[in-house]
Amino acid sequence: MRRDLISIDDLTLAELNDYLGFAARVESMSETDKVTLLRGKVLAVMFFEPSTRTRLSFETAMQRLGGGVVGFSDILATSVKKGESFLDTIRTVECYSDVLVCRHPKEGTARLATEVSRIPVINAGDGTNQHPTQTLLDLYTLQKFFGKIDGLKISFAGDLKYSRTVHSLLHALMKYEGVEFILASPELLELPEYLKLEARRRGHTLHETRDLMEAVRGADCLYMTRIQQERFPDPIEYDMVKGAYVLNAAMLRGCPAHFKVLHPLPRLNEIATDVDATRHAGYFEQVLNGVYMRQAILLDVLEVTL
Amino acid sequence: MSDARHPDSDDRRESDRRTTELIPKIEQGIVIDHIPAGRGVHVLAAVRGYPGMENTLISVGLNYASTKLGKKDILKLSTTNMPDEVIEHVALVAPRVSIKRICDYQVDKKYVIEFPQTISNKLRCRNSNCITNYEDRVTTVFRCFDSMTRQVKCGHCERIFFLDELDLIRATD
- Res B17: pLDDT: 57
Query: What number of residues does chain B have?
Result: 173
| The pLDDT value given to residue B11 | 54
Using an 8 Å CB-CB cutoff, list chain B residues near A85: 135-136
Domain match, A199 and A282 both? yes
Residue A157 has pLDDT above 90, yes or no: yes
Q: 3-class DSSP state for residue A179?
A: coil
Identify the pLDDT of residue A241: 78
Q: Which amino acid is at B9?
A: S
Contacts of B157 in chain A (CB under 8 A): 107-108, 126-127, 129
Cβ–Cβ of B135/A86 closer than 8 Å?
Answer: yes
B60 touches chain A (CB under 8 A): no
Whether the CB-CB separation of B18 and B65 falls below 8 Å is answered with yes
Q: Note whether A220 contacts B: Cβ–Cβ < 8 A.
A: no
Residue B159 pLDDT exceeds 70: yes
Asked if the model's pLDDT at residue A221 lies above 80, the reply is: yes
Instruction: Give me the sheet containing A206-209, strands edge to edge.
Output: A206-209, A180-184, A153-157, A221-224, A260-262
A123 and A190 in a single domain? The answer is: no
Domain assignment of residue A94, yes or no: yes
Looking at the predicted structure, is the pLDDT value of residue B7 above 50? Answer: no
Instruction: Say yes or no: A121 and A106 in one domain.
Output: yes
Q: Quote the CA–CA distance of A179 and A120 in Å, as a whole number.
A: 32
How confident is the model over B14-63, as pLDDT tens digits? 555 555 567 788 999 999 999 999 999 989 988 987 888 888 999 999 99
Please give the mean pLDDT across all residues of chain A.
Answer: 93
- Strand A99-104 relative to strand A121-126: parallel, antiparallel, unpaired? parallel
A51 interfacial to chain B (CB closer than 8 Å) = no
Same domain, A137 and A37: no
Q: So what's the pLDDT on residue A73?
A: 84
Does residue A33 share a domain with residue A21?
Answer: yes
In this structure, are A49 and A153 located in the same domain?
A: no
The pLDDT value given to residue A244: 78
Total structural domains in chain A? Answer: 2
ipTM score here? 0.86
A241 with A260, same domain: the answer is yes
Predicted confidence band of residue A109 (pLDDT cuts 50, 70, 90): very high
> What is the number of CB-based contacts under 8 A between chain A and chain B?
51
Tell me the β-bridge partners of A262: A223
pLDDT digits (tens, 9 = 90+) for B136-158: 889 999 999 888 888 999 999 99
pLDDT above 90 covers a percentage of chain A that reads: 77
Q: Are residues A218 and A106 in the same domain?
A: no
Let me know: does A10 contact A136? Beta carbons within 8 Å: no
Q: Is A1 within a domain?
A: no
Does residue A162 belong to the interface with chain B, where contact is any CB pair within 8 Å? Answer: no
In whole angstroms, give the CA distance from residue A296 to residue A22.
6
Same domain, residue pair A182 and A265: yes
**Proportion of chain A above pLDDT 70, given as a percent:** 98
State yes or no: is A53 an active-site residue. Answer: yes
| Confidence band, pLDDT 50/70/90 cuts, at residue A113 | very high
- What is residue B6's predicted lDDT score, i.e. its pLDDT? 44
Residues A147 and A280 in one domain: yes
CATH number at residue A174: 3.40.50.1370
Q: Is B156 on the interface with A (CB under 8 A)?
A: yes
Residue A228 lies in a domain: yes
Residue B5 has pLDDT above 50, yes or no: no
CB-closest option in A107, A112, A130 to B129? A107
| B79 vs B95: CA distance, rounded Å | 21
* A4 has a pLDDT exceeding 90: yes
Structural domain contains residue A66? yes
Closest to B33 measured CA to CA, from B84, B104, B126, B99: B99
What pLDDT score does A306 carry?
A: 86
CA atoms within 13 A on the CB side of A159: 21
Which member of B134, B137, B155 has the closest CB to residue A106?
B134
Tell whether A118 is covered by a domain: yes
Domain that holds residue A80: 8-130+289-301
Query: Is A33 among the domain residues?
Result: yes
- pLDDT over threshold 50, residue B4: no
pLDDT tens column, B72-125? 999 999 998 888 888 888 988 887 899 999 999 999 999 999 888 999 988 999
Whether residue A306 lies inside any domain: the answer is no
Q: Is 60 exceeded by the pLDDT of residue B2?
A: no
Whether residue A103 is predicted with pLDDT greater than 90 in this model: the reply is yes
CB–CB contact A104 B131 (8 Å): yes
Averaged pLDDT, A204-220: 95
Q: Considering A12, A32, A82, A305, which one is annotated as catalytic?
A: A82
Residues 95..124 of A with a Cβ closer than 8 Å to B: which?
Answer: 104-109, 111-112
Question: In the structure, what pLDDT confidence band is assigned to residue A243 with cuts at 50, 70 and 90?
Answer: confident
The pLDDT assigned to B3 comes to 40
Contact A107, B158 (CB under 8 A): yes
- The C-alpha angle A74, A77, A82, rounded to 5 degrees, equals 115
Looking only at the bridges linking them, the beta strands covering B141-146 and B118-120 are antiparallel
Point out the catalytic residue in the list A55, A64, A131, A175. A131
Q: Is residue B132 within 8 angstroms of chain A, CB to CB?
A: yes
User: For residue A2, is it within any domain?
Assistant: no
Q: Is the pLDDT of residue A302 over 70?
A: yes
pLDDT digits (tens, 9 = 90+) for A262-277: 999 989 889 999 999 9
Quick one: A265 and A294 in the same domain? no
pLDDT tens for each residue of A22-80: 999 999 999 999 999 999 999 999 999 888 889 999 999 999 999 999 998 877 766 66
Least confident of A94-98, A202-206, B6-10: B6-10
A214 and A138 within one domain: yes
Nearest to A209 by CA among A268, A160, A264, A270: A160
